[in-house]
Amino acid sequence: MKISVEKGEAKGFLPDGRHTVTITRIDEGVSEHQNVPYFAAHMESEDGYVDQRFYNSPAGHPIILSLYAAVGIKPEEGKDLDTKQLVGKHLSVEVSDHSYADPATGNERSIRQATGFRAA
């Protein structure tokens, strides 16, 4: 069996704790269960990486705005934010595991996530 190693994934996940990271890639998609648009930020440092999804929904907007604030981009009323602006930006994040019930099965799942966005 061959296992492909994607760009930026030659390292393992970042360990628990606060890390200074660089956003190296943005991927866009739609959630599997509720069809909510999202973007996923690939954040990495020398120690590893974490991917974090940000949902473009009323509940997700405060989290998205805190991410932009942490990288020094101030949202302006009436102007769209472009996720491409995030690539290459540095910030500080808190990395930990988060458990949730899988909507499809009800089984508990765990994901690695980044929270607590701050300026680097």
SS3 track for 48-74? EEEEEEEECCCCCHHHHHHHHHHCCCC
| Residue 85, domain extent | 17-119
Specify the DSSP class assigned to residue 13. B
Q: For the chain, how many structural domains are there in total?
A: 1
Task: Using a pLDDT cut of 70, give the percent of the chain over it.
Answer: 98
Residue 71 and residue 88 in contact, taking contact as beta carbons nearer than 8 Å? no
Residue 41 and residue 28 in contact, taking contact as beta carbons nearer than 8 Å? no
pLDDT tens sequence across 90-99: 999 999 999 9
Q: pTM, whole model, 2 decimals?
A: 0.86
Q: What is the CATH number of the domain that holds 114?
A: 2.40.50
